[in-house]
Structure 1
Amino acid sequence: MHITQILRKNQTPWEQRLRSQLRNRNINNLKFRRQFKIGPYVADFYCHDKKLVIECDGSQHLKNEEDKKRQQYLGANSYTVLRFWNNEIDDNIEGVVKTIIDNT
């Protein structure tokens, strides 16, 4: 089984909550793919039309060197990356959705 398939089957509660907002072209009629491979990395969500990556981050991402490398790779390849803390998704899903809309 490919890593993206494993990740899709084991989404976090925050990824599930955000997915419910992104699915069925709910945001500006855009399609978002989940657990999408970009180069050596896997994005939580990806919109090809806008080259937009969305990440749901927990506290393990606070000082993660691998996340810095990933961010540099995506930026160098002209991807826009939006990162949301899990507590933002819990406490302010409307604000998260508005930020996504504002960036599409």
Structure 2
Amino acid sequence: MREGAKLHYARQLRRDMTEAEHWLWARLRHRQLAGFRFRRQHPLGSYIADFACIERQLIVEVDGSQHLDSAADVRRDDWFRQHGFIVVRCWNHDVLERTDQVLARILQALEMGR
């Protein structure tokens, strides 16, 4: 995907976030989680991460059932890891029903980061 097209697609994804992504973004934006800055629908390489904390090289992906056993997600996670990122994957249901546990897991990953 061309760089300009990828940026356009990232903007579209920001407008069309899922309910779980909206819910999590409301808790990550404005440095609400321990002062760390997150970006949403952030382009990295040929991928677009749901949420990224560049400072700690952390990617947070919020997944629905279509991601169950996804070979594409394995390749994507491998690419992120090869480029120094930690990847945390969360299920939509957990974000909506167990928000505190999801945030604790993200915070733990941030604290383990560089």
Q: With structure 2 as the length reference, what TM-score do the two structures score? A: 0.88
The letter of the residue matching 1:66 is A
* Secondary structure, counterpart of 2:55 in structure 1: coil
Aligned runs of 1:2-81 on 2, under 5 Å? 2-81=8-87
Structure 1, residues 11-45: CA drift from partner, whole Å, max 9, x if none? 00000000011011011111100000010000000
Query: Is residue 86 of structure 1 aligned with residue 92 of structure 2?
Result: yes
Q: Which runs of 4+ in 1 moved over 3 A?
A: none
- Report the RMSD for the aligned CA atoms in angstroms: 1.0
**Structure 2: which 5+ runs fail to align?**
none
Distance in 2, Cα, partners of 1:45 & 1:37? 10
Determine which structure has the larger helix proportion and give its number.
2
Shift of 1:102: 1.2
Structure 1, residues 45-81: CA drift from partner, whole Å, max 9, x if none? 0001000000000010012211111011111111000
Q: With structure 1 as the length reference, what TM-score do the two structures score? A: 0.96
Question: How many correspondences in the alignment?
Answer: 104
The answer to which of 6-15 and 64-73 deviates more is 64-73
**Structure 1: which 5+ runs fail to align?**
none
Share of identical aligned residues, percent?
34
* Secondary structure, counterpart of 1:31 in structure 2: coil
